[in-house]
Structure 1
Amino acid sequence: MNKKTKIIILISLCILIAIIGIYFLFPKGSNTQNIYVQKVSTIIGSSNTENRYSGVVESSETVDINSDGNKSITEMYVEAGQKVRKGDKLFSYDTTEASNSIAQKKLDIEAQNNEIAAQNNTIEDYKAELNRGADKVEIQARINDASYAIRQAQNTIKATQTEIDQLNKQIKNSTVLSTIDGIIKEVNKDGGTDESGNKKPLVSITQTSDFRVKGSISEMGSISEGTNVIVRSRINEDQIYKGTVTKVETEPQSNSNNNVYGNDSNESASKYPFYVTLDNNKGLKLGQHVYIEVDNGQSTKKKGIWLDASFIVSDDNGNSYVWVSEKGKLTKRKVELGKTDEETSTTKIKSGLSEDDYIAWADNTYKEGMKTTTEYQTETDGDANAS
């Protein structure tokens, strides 16, 4: 065998070895795409976590009380953080000036009454002169002048009495009372302005008898006014409250510490506050942190495994199966179906699947032997580690 023939044989052997290697590394039916699978217990136990948002319990109402700039405050009865009930005293205005003014006005009324008495005496004198034969035209003119002076004095007395009544009302209302049950949010006796440059209220009260929940959603979210939601305690997720989204802000909040989950997890997206009115708030506390979920009926737990229709495939022979991950490879497994809940579009799996299995959404392009992963991938993601 000559040298040229040996080289040809050697090259042929290398090509054959490479082909065999590729066959074993990438067997028939394999695919470089990793199929995303989820644990069954996760799917049926918290099927709504992809639409879960963080929230905080806050007051439905905040009452701001501004001071009268023309009055000075003599005493504050409350401080920030203090609980108050409707009718409790908040602060009092100085009534010294009003009291002094009332005293002066009473003297003015007394002077006007004296003027009226004097004018009445003058009129009696004029009438006596008429009886003695004085000029009737001249005397009548003087009586008319005196009567006019009396009417002026009477009008002055009425106006002054009205001013006294108003001052008495000021004194009576000089102590400002709380109009709601709540907690004093802030007291600004020295004035000042907020971050927007608006004048701060003298006293701000946060209502404690009625709560709402504030959440935030990104531009990619699916919350809108009228959406029915479930509010879930972070400490005990079985403690739930039902409510309705009553408002979604159109302007994004500047800074938000709320963590958003699932479809709303893009930290760079703008966050828009939304508000939930609760059917009841018994057991909730002001400032408590909660989860907010779109209400898809997940609060009603069913026994057994109930899968969404998107996981189940039926063939032409009437058999049903799901795609299951076994040792990191996709396998088609036959399952026995039970009842279907039309409201939630879920079907009970009677046999063939356990809560510890990992399954994929149904797709007619899947083939057995495909690699699986528990890390969700987009088209631009790199290969993930197979499960």
Structure 2
Amino acid sequence: MKKKIWIGIGVAALIIIMIGVSAYRTAFAKPLAVEVMEVKQEKISSTLMVPGTLELQEEQNVFPSPELGKVEEILVEVGQQVKKGDVLVRFDDSQLVLEIEQNKISVESGYLRINQLQKQKEHLDSRKKDLSEQIGKKEAEKQLAAEYDQNEMELRLANLDLKQTLLQKEALEERVKDFELISLVEGTVLAVNENATELVTEVQEPLVQVGSLHSMIATGSLSEYDVLKVSNGQKVTIKSDVLPNEEWQGEIIDVASVPQNTGLANPMENQAVQFPIIVQINDGIQLKPGFQLIMEIETEEKEGLVIFSEAVVYEDDKSFVYLVNDGIAHKQEIEIGLTSGERMEVVEGLKAEDTIVLNPSDKVSDGMEVTLE
């Protein structure tokens, strides 16, 4: 019996000690230190994330052409700067070369024939002078009239033939230009493929590729659900995994009115409809054509109450923050509107200049006393 009494006394003492410790902690424990932010009225925009590819805005590819014949010469090299109109590739046409040589002979022959007829006329003039002294001017003209007429007719025909030959020469010179492919853009020679001079290949590679490295675009595609949210002039932030700390600005310059052709044989087959878009990059970009990009398209912008996503706690499909008033944390349900990266619009539940807890830990609870860091 005595033993039981002592056990009871011990238990009661332990309980008293635990209550005392708890009371001490409550009385003397320091409030939990928390990091906070102020709710502000700011501009916020919703964004649409779209994968993209970096491409040259101005680009020209020169391919072999069966109509032009074999490649005679590639006149540029990689890295060379070219202007519009510079000859890039010259093609060989043996038949045209033969026609040009024949025309040269015809032109030379025409000039020789005219020169010969002019000398004949000079000879007639000399004979006419001698005869005029012997038999008189009128009689001399009468005797030589037929020869003068013949010389004049032949000289006129020779001039007509030469004129026609010279016109043929001009036409041949124009045809020569057809066998010279010129640059249509001002830029840099990006590739020269000497092995692409053969005319018959399954996958034809360009002989020469020219493009402007100072003018780049990003291309991508939008689903039928997203395409109605995007229009020309909308701002775009461009990022790349290759340079994670860099970003570039751009804007939408083209949204396709019709979806791109997927090439599926069965048009009745279910397929995701995609609408191509083009983004003009405003800044210089340190990437090469073909690099993969992430495009954040700003689809809507408005003024609203803005907080950081790290302040939000989610429970049972509801969103909460801890609102701090007079050193006490109060759990507050909120309604979220637009989101842009780590920024969120609060549609309901807060007002401007409210103070909320950032990164609330499990130690933060409703009604808890807190101190601001």
Which category of TM-score, normalised to the shorter sequence, fits these structures? 0.5 to 0.7
RMSD: 5.0
2:112 alignment partner in structure 1: 114
Change (3 A) 1:105 1:236: closer
Partner deviation per Cα, 1:104-162 (whole Å, 9 max, x = no partner)? 33432343333324433444565536734658567435423422321332343344345
Q: Which amino acid aligns with 2:53?
A: V
- Residue in structure 1 matching 2:52, options 52, 55, 58: 55
2:235 alignment partner in structure 1: 228
What aligned pairs does 1:1-387 form with structure 2 within 5 A after superposition?
51-65=48-62, 67=65, 69-76=67-74, 84-86=80-82, 90-94=88-92, 100-124=98-122, 126-127=124-125, 128=127, 131=132, 132=135, 134=139, 136=141, 139-140=144-145, 142-161=147-166, 163-164=168-169, 178=183, 180-184=187-191, 189-191=197-199, 203-221=208-226, 222-255=229-262, 269-295=272-298, 306-307=306-307, 324-325=313-314, 335=323, 351-356=355-360
Q: Which runs of 5+ in 1 are unaligned?
A: 1-39, 42-46, 257-266, 299-304, 312-321, 338-343, 359-367, 369-387
Q: Percent identity?
A: 19
Report SS of the residue matched to 2:156. helix
Residues 287-296 or 123-132, more deviating: 123-132
Contact 2:48/2:299 (CA < 8 Å) preserved in 1? no
Q: Take 1:284 and 1:292, find their aligned partners in 2: how far apart are those partners?
A: 15
Contact 1:184/1:206 (CA < 8 Å) preserved in 2? no
Q: Take 2:60 and 2:220, find their aligned partners in 1: how far apart are those partners?
A: 22
Q: Take 1:112 and 1:142, find their aligned partners in 2: how far apart are those partners?
A: 21
Q: Which amino acid aligns with 1:108?
A: S
Change (3 A) 1:86 1:52: same
State which structure, 1 or 2, has the greater radius of gyration over its C-alpha atoms.
2
Q: Which amino acid aligns with 1:354?
A: L
TM-score, length-scaled by structure 1: 0.54
Q: Take 1:214 and 1:323, find their aligned partners in 2: how far apart are those partners?
A: 35
Comparing both structures, which one devotes a greater share of its residues to strand? 2
Q: How many residues align?
A: 276
Whose relative contact order is higher, 1 or 2, with alpha carbons under 8 Å and at least 6 apart? 2
Report SS of the residue matched to 1:114. helix
Q: Which runs of 5+ in 2 are unaligned?
A: 1-35, 38-43, 264-269, 326-343, 367-373
Deviation of 1:289 (Å): 1.2
Contact 1:65/1:202 (CA < 8 Å) preserved in 2? yes
Contact 2:220/2:277 (CA < 8 Å) preserved in 1? yes
